[in-house]
Chains A and B, each alone.
Chain A
Amino acid sequence: MKFKTFAAFVGPSVFLMLLFIAAPLVTVFVGAFQLTQPVVEMVEEETCTPGFVTQTCTTTTVTRPVLDEFGEVVTTTEWVGWTNFTRVLDPEAAGAAIRAMDWGQLMQVDFYAALRFTLMFTLVTLPLVLGTGLAIALAVNNAARSIRGPVIFISLLPFIVTPVIGALSIRWLFIGDGILTSALEVWLDRDIAMFAQAWTIELMMLFYRVWHVAPFAFVIFYAGLQTVNQDTLESAIIDGASRWERLRYVIIPHLMPLIIFIALIHLMDTYRVFEEIVGFTSQAHVISLQWLTYDFLQPDDAGNRAFGRASASAMLTMVGIVFLLIPLLRRTWRDHKGGSH
């Protein structure tokens, strides 16, 4: 294919990606070092109240935003260096907390609390998703052919359901004296409030995420299981391998590329954990990195959005993605050099 034809085919897509993915990255990068604020002026105001003989007058200085001729607030944008980052990272408080070895104090800074939860969430769900997905795939592979279709249909439901709604549906089972909370209360014989502390919310979030992603792992593993070499399996049986050894030394090595694929997709997706926070309304107890940026972008009571801090926290979120992607890119590069394409 000539370059010109290639460009004509790929052009629109590349243009869209440059305009809406690459350009915003530049805006975010620039915005992280800028601060936009309304211009305020100090005005001396004299307020007088009527009194006997003379009125009593008090003079106060108030700050108020400057308005332009259309009645809109005038804003200035200035370069502020690392200020936005400092406000997000709060190195003073963090440093003090680290020196005092005080974990709770460190978690008072939103960014570190979000980072802790995001990393914990990513690393804990990964083995759970892989394990559950593989277990379901093996069980379905073991089941009679006639029930496989319906089972796949039911399994796809958690995967396909809108993430916010999925999280909500689990939240409604537990909220207040929902049926599962009451069941737990009867079983453990004590009063339980699932939404009063962070760790119970985190448990529900972990459950939700595994419930949501396991079907994806299951479908891929199930497809992989169909291509396991039957001859190898039979030779393993002849060599006297037990069922467990066959799984460990024949099936899992065969599925290894798929395991890596699912792990990568899962790391990318879970690092962006966000919908859980919305669905479980957990921002008072648990927040994630992406939610932190979202929160800065939401207008506050005065209608201002903290673009500067949002950009800074977005840049910091990206640092994590870069760490995540380096091994992947090195691998792909090696494959490309090796000429496997």
Chain B
Amino acid sequence: MSDTPRAMRQSLSLRLGSAGFLALWCLLAAFPIFWIGVMSFKSPVDAFDANPLNVIFGPVTRDGGDGLSIIDIVLGLVYLFFAVKLALGWLPKMVAQHSPGGQVWAGWIIGALAYAISFVVGLFVILPLILNGLNAILGPLGNPLIGLTTIHYWSVWVDNAFYENFINSLIVTVGVVTVSLTVGTLAGYGLARSGSNLAFWILIIALIFRALPHSVLVAGYLPVFVNSAEILRPILGENAPTLYGQPLAVIAVLVSINQPFTIWMLRSFFQNIPNELDEAARVDGCTHFQAFRWVIMPVMWPGVITTGLFSFLLAYNDFLVTSLLLDQSNQTMVPAIAGYFNRETTTTDQVEAVAAAVSITAPLFLLVMIFQRQIVSGLTAGAVKG
């Protein structure tokens, strides 16, 4: 600090105030999410207890026979430590070794899936088996200390078949991200490289579309989708589909709603790539499309990944469109959770809703962990460049 000029140095009270404010903000930001994580592992009585200590230690849950002993906690932490170490060190090496050249991304998908499955199996199947034995042998050390139960997760995912909603969410998000990026990169490139008035107007109209409330659009789709079989019959004949309740229709809708944002963001990324690169490729005899595919796209991956993340978030977090355009049988996760808290018959339902909410949040948590840099760059890309 000695090289900062004296006038720039800060008084102790200012530094303390700033650090205190930051600490308070971090507490506020993390607390609600951390707390639902804690609640989801407790019996209903503990989860909604007025005393926070009871929620954390869960005496009722512990008396019910579900709990963690000191050994459980220590071994669990060791397991987590090695899991993180493996994920950071060993996994990238294996992926790099075993994936065929140029298809590292496919290797990553397979590797990450295999890793995730073995992690879950290890944590919920193998580790409990070992620990049950250990706890029985060790006596007082093996007595449960903190109440903890995974029963709510079991009833949400297995008894209430939440995995069906998960699969629906997966279909919708994967569809939205792929289609949205394919269509969006093409348009973003075209808009970034054309200085015409038409390009300007397309961008402005896209901005207006971006501001429209989604309910306005859904009010437009719903009557058409519900009656689409009758409307389309003259064109498609007898096998005209009813679009209402079709994941494909929802994918198309979410892609379009997301298009204005996608093309603005991708355009600003494309503008960062120097025009000379296309020109060099064109001189070498590429068509515009070849230049785009073989010269520009390889250097565009950071922008594409960032935009893909935001498309993913839109599709994954959506409540309004999916709840209105999909029916009960193929509902995605976020609207499905409304079923839990609308029932509100017992506190068990409530805790199951909490467990479902945590299940929805967990992938997002991982996403921020892995892609923090891309998310930050995506947020600033739109703003700083205008």
Partner of A294, one of B22, B206, B324, B383: B324
- Chain B 138-178 near chain A by CB (<8 Å), digits 1 or 0: 00000000000000000000000000000000000000000
Decide yes or no whether B259 CB sits under 8 A from chain A: yes
Query: In the complex, which residues of chain B have a beta carbon less than 8 angstroms from the beta carbon of A237?
Result: 5, 7-8
Interface residue B316 (Cβ < 8 Å from any Cβ of A): yes
Give the distance in Å from the alpha carbon of A5 to the alpha carbon of B206 in the complex: 20
Chain A, interface size category, equals 35 or more
**CA gap between A336 and B221 in the complex, in Å:** 34
Contact digits for B90-102, partner A, Cβ 8 Å, 1 yes 0 no: 0000000000000
Cβ contact of A13, chosen from B186, B320, B354, cutoff 8 A? B186
Interface string of A277-288 (1 = CB under 8 A from B): 010010000000
In the complex, per-residue mask of A159-188: 1 if CB is within 8 Å of any chain B CB, else 0: 011111110111011011111011000000
A40 to chain B, nearest CB (A): 20
Cβ-based interface call for B295 (8 A): no
Task: Tell me which of A14, A135, A163, A272 contacts B213 (CB under 8 A).
Answer: A272
Alpha-carbon distance A175/B39, docked complex (angstroms): 13
Q: Which residues does chain B contribute within 8 Å of A13, judged by CB atoms?
A: 183-184, 186-187, 259, 263
Mark interface residues in A200-237 (1 if CB within 8 Å of B CB, else 0).
00000000000100011001100110010000001001
On whether the beta carbons of A289 and B213 are closer than 8 Å, the reply is yes
Of A25-33, A47-55, A96-104, the one touching chain B: A25-33
> Per a CB cutoff under 8 Å, which of A153, A155, A258, A275 touches B25?
A155
Interface of A is mostly: helix
The answer to whether B64 has its CB under 8 Å from any CB of chain A is: no
B317 is an interface residue with CB less than 8 A from chain A: yes
B residues within 8 A CB of A293? 213, 215-216, 218-219
A168 touching B18 in the complex, CB below 8 Å, given contacts A13-B186, A27-B220: no
For B198, give its contact among A6, A21, A278, A289 (CB under 8 Å).
Answer: A6
Chain B 10-36 interface residues, beta-carbon cutoff 8 Å to A: 10, 14-15, 18-19, 21-22, 25-26, 28-30, 32-33, 35-36
Contact B216 A317 (CB under 8 A): yes
**A305 in the interface, Cβ–Cβ < 8 Å?**
yes
Q: How far is the CB of B173 from chain A (nearest CB, A)?
A: 12
Q: How far is the CB of B44 from chain A (nearest CB, A)?
A: 11
Closest A residue to B223 by beta carbon equals: A307
Give the complex CA separation of A156 and B373 in angstroms: 11
Q: Which of B194, B313, B350, B386 contacts A6 (CB 8 A)?
A: B194
Residue in A9, A176, A271, A315 whose beta carbon sits within 8 Å of that of B189 in the complex: A9
B residues near A66, Cβ cutoff 8 Å = none
The minimal Cβ–Cβ distance linking B300 to chain A, given in whole angstroms, is 14
CB-CB under 8 A from B338, the residues of chain A are 164, 278
In the complex the two chains form, is B213's CB within 8 Å of A290's CB? yes
The 7 tightest CB contacts between A and B, nearest first, are A24-B220, A9-B190, A20-B256, A13-B187, A182-B50, A293-B215, A169-B32
- Given A139-B19, A160-B367, A257-B386: 15 more A-B contacts, CB < 8 Å: A12-B183, A16-B255, A20-B256, A23-B220, A24-B219, A153-B372, A161-B361, A164-B334, A178-B50, A219-B379, A220-B379, A237-B5, A290-B215, A296-B219, A314-B213
Q: 5 pairs across A/B with beta carbons < 8 Å? A: A3-B196, A27-B224, A156-B372, A179-B35, A211-B28
